C-alpha cells in the first residue's frame, strides 16, 4: 500500500470514525450521569438526520423559488436547527420516559428496557409516518474533489472531520471549565454527594441529554451529506457499533468514546483496504465487522473496564 493510498484510507477512516465517535459520546455521557445505557440513542441519530433532511429540503425549496440562500447558510441552519429540535426529542424522552421511572426508584433494568422500546418506537413511528422508502439527503454544498499528490478528497470529507474535531475539543473544554461540566464529571464518580453541593440533578441530566442528542444530530446530518441515503433503520447498526465503541473506550469516559469511535472507524476502513492489497485478497469486505469485533473483544478481554476506564476504589 503506497503512502498516497494509505492517506486516502486514513481520511476515510477519520470520517467514518467521526460518526461513531460523535454517537458514542452520547452513549457515554448519559451512562456517566445516569448509569443508563440509552439504547434509543442510535435512533436519535436517525431522528437528527431526518430532521436535518426536512429543514434542508424546506430551505432549498424556498431558496430555489423566491430568493437564493447561500449554501453555507443553508448548511449552518440545517445543522443548528436539527441540533435544537433533536435535543428537544432527547429531552422529551428523558422527561416522559426515564425521569418518572428514576424518581420512583425503578430498577435500572426497567429503564434500559424502556430505552430499547423508545428506540423501536422512534423507528416504527418514522416507518409509519414516512413510509419504507429511503430518502435522498439533498446535496447541501457543492461537492468539490481536490487531489493533492495522488490523494483525492472532497470538501465534504474535510468539513465532516474538521467539525467533529472542533466539536470534541469544545466538549472537552466545556467539561473541564464550566460548573455544569464539573457537575457531570462529579456525578459519574458519586451521585449521592452531588446534590449536597447545591447542584440540581435534573438540570444536569437534561443538559446531558441536550449535548448527547445534538452531537447525534450533527453526526446524522454529516452522514446524510456524505452518503445521501436515509432510512428508518439507519440508526440501528451504527448505534450498536457506536455503543460498543463507547464500551471499548471505557463507558462513562468521554475521551474513551472519542478514541473508541475512531478506533472502530480505522479498523473497519483498513480491513477493507487491506483486502485490495495483493496477497490479502482473501480478506474480502465481508470480513470487516468480524475482524472489527474480534479486535474489540480482545481489547475488552485484556482490559474489561475499556481503554480509558478505571476501576474505582474508595479510601477509608
Partner 1 sequence: MLLEVKDLRVRYGNIEALHGISFHVEEGEIVTLIGANGAGKTTTLMTISRQIPYVAELGGRVVGGSIMYQGEDLLHYKPHEVVSKFGISQVPEGRRIFGNLSVLENLMLATYSRKDKAQIQKDLRRVFEIFPRLEERKNQRGETLSGGEQQMLAVGRALMTRGRLMLLDEPSMGLAPVLVRDIFKTLAEINAQGTTILLVEQNANMALKLAHRGYVLETGNIVLEGTSEELANNPEVKKAYLGG
Residues forming the site for partner 1 (CB under 8 A): 102-103, 105, 179, 182-183, 185-186, 188-193, 195-201, 312-316
84: which 3 cell numbers? 435544537
Q: Cβ 256 to partner 1, closest distance in Å?
A: 13
123, 41 Cβ separation under 8 angstroms: no
Burial of residue 159 (number of CB atoms within 10 Å: 0-12, 13-18, 19+): middle
- The residue (of 37 and 47) whose beta carbon lies closer to partner 1 is 37
CB contact set of 138 (below 8 Å; sequence gap of 6+): 53, 56, 57, 60
223, 215 Cβ separation under 8 angstroms: no
Q: Cβ 181 to partner 1, closest distance in Å?
A: 10
- The residue (of 168 and 204) whose beta carbon lies closer to partner 1 is 204
Sequence-distant contacts of 76-83: CB under 8 A, at least 24 apart: 78/52, 78/140, 78/221, 79/52, 79/217, 79/218, 79/221, 81/51, 81/52, 81/55, 82/48, 82/49, 82/51, 82/52, 82/55, 82/217, 82/218, 82/220, 82/221, 83/48, 83/213, 83/214, 83/217, 83/218
Cα distance from N-terminal residue to C-terminal residue, the chain: 56
DSSP assignment, residue 275? T
Q: Cβ 200 to partner 1, closest distance in Å?
A: 4
Specify the 3-state DSSP secondary structure of 152.
Answer: strand
Q: Where are the beta strands (DSSP E) in the chain?
A: 135-136, 145-148, 151-154, 229-230
- The residue (of 95 and 102) whose beta carbon lies closer to partner 1 is 102
Q: Cβ 105 to partner 1, closest distance in Å?
A: 4
Q: Cβ 189 to partner 1, closest distance in Å?
A: 5
DSSP assignment, residue 70? -
- The residue (of 75 and 211) whose beta carbon lies closer to partner 1 is 211
- The residue (of 191 and 303) whose beta carbon lies closer to partner 1 is 191
Q: Cβ 175 to partner 1, closest distance in Å?
A: 11
> Diameter of the chain by CA atoms?
70
- The residue (of 141 and 186) whose beta carbon lies closer to partner 1 is 186
- The residue (of 239 and 252) whose beta carbon lies closer to partner 1 is 252
- The residue (of 184 and 222) whose beta carbon lies closer to partner 1 is 184
Q: Cβ 171 to partner 1, closest distance in Å?
A: 17
Q: Cβ 8 to partner 1, closest distance in Å?
A: 39
Q: For residue 70, report the phi and psi dihedrals to the nearest 5 degrees.
A: -60, 145
184: which 3 cell numbers? 457531570
Amino acid at each position: 500500500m503506497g503512502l498516497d493510498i494509505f492517506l486516502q484510507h486514513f481520511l476515510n477512516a477519520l470520517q467514518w470514525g467521526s460518526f461513531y465517535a460523535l454517537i458514542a459520546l452520547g452513549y457515554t455521557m448519559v451512562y456517566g450521569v445516569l448509569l443508563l445505557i440509552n439504547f434509543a440513542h442510535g435512533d436519535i441519530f436517525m431522528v437528527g438526520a431526518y430532521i436535518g433532511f426536512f429543514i434542508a429540503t424546506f430551505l432549498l425549496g424556498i431558496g430555489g423559488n423566491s430568493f437564493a440562500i447561500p449554501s453555507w447558510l443553508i448548511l449552518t441552519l440545517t445543522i443548528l436547527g436539527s441540533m435544537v429540535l433533536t435535543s428537544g426529542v432527547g429531552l422529551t424522552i428523558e422527561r416522559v420516559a426515564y425521569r418518572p421511572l428514576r424518581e420512583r426508584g425503578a430498577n435500572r433494568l426497567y429503564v434500559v428496557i424502556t430505552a430499547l422500546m423508545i428506540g423501536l418506537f422512534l423507528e416504527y413511528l418514522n416507518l409509519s409516518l414516512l413510509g419504507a422508502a429511503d430518502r435522498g439527503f439533498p446535496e447541501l454544498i457543492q461537492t468539490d474533489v481536490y487531489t493533492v499528490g495522488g490523494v483525492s478528497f472532497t470538501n465534504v470529507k474535510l468539513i465532516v472531520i474538521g467539525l467533529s474535531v472542533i466539536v470534541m475539543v469544545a466538549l472537552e473544554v466545556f467539561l473541564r471549565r464550566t460548573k455544569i461540566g464539573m457537575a457531570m464529571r462529579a456525578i459519574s464518580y458519586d451521585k449521592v454527594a452531588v446534590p449536597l453541593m447545591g447542584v440540581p440533578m435534573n438540570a444536569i441530566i437534561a443538559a446531558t441529554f441536550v449535548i448527547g442528542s445534538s452531537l447525534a444530530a450533527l453526526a446524522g446530518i454529516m452522514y446524510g451529506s456524505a452518503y445521501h441515503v436515509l432510512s428508518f433503520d439507519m440508526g440501528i447498526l451504527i448505534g450498536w457499533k457506536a455503543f460498543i465503541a463507547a464500551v471499548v473506550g471505557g463507558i462513562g469516559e468521554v475521551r474513551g468514546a472519542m478514541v473508541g469511535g475512531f478506533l472502530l472507524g480505522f479498523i473497519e476502513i483498513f480491513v477493507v483496504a487491506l483486502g485490495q492489497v495483493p496477497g490479502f485478497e482473501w480478506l474480502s469486505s465481508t470480513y470487516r465487522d468480524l475482524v472489527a469485533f474480534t479486535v474489540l473483544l480482545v481489547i475488552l478481554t485484556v482490559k474489561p473496564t475499556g481503554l480509558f476506564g478505571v476501576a474505582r476504589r474508595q479510601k477509608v
